Amino acid sequence: MASASAGLRGPRFDPPEAAAVYGIGAWRNGRRIKCSRTQTIEDSVLATGFPFRDFSFAGQYMPMLDDGIKRARGVRRMGAAALDLSWTACGRYDGYWEMGLAPWDVAAGTLILREAGGTCTDMHKLDPWPIGGRVVAGNHAIERALHDMIAPHLAKPG
């Protein structure tokens, strides 16, 4: 037990820092990072987020999650899109998808991921940059495979 005068310390959640410079590359703790080389959903560990506040797309989302759980080696939920994208950039995750995000949720993580050789797109492939709040990300093979996995469950935009 700590006394009132003693300082308390605890572990930091994710101490390594990731950074990227457009057109130059991405680093984590000073070392260059690259996305995983995993080629299939069946060999991948995926990340996602769950609906928060806006549950209008939950009917689409739950079948996507069901497919991911059944097909991938694992599906994780961290709770922070920027961290999920950063972990995808350094290969901790092979792919990531989420709906209901704001641009500031994905801006930094998207840059880091793209500079690490990954792809981050809109689920409907409509926006040139995923500002619509519907993100699919990973290395090129996994990003395409995730699009194929979620497409049957996606409602048409509009």
Annotated binding site, which residues?
A: 105
Indicate the residue type of 68: G
Q: Please state, in angstroms and as integers, the Cα–Cα distance from residue 49 to each residue in 24, 30, 104, 142, 156, following that order.
A: 29, 28, 15, 17, 20
Neighbours of 64 (CB within 10 A): 23
Instruction: Please answer whether residues 49 and 98 qualify as being in contact, where contact means their C-beta atoms are separated by less than 8 angstroms.
Output: yes
| Residues contributing to the annotated binding site for Mg(2+) | 105
Instruction: Please answer whether residues 99 and 51 qualify as being in contact, where contact means their C-beta atoms are separated by less than 8 angstroms.
Output: yes
If we measure between CA atoms, which residue out of 151, 137, 152, 155 comes closest to residue 58?
155
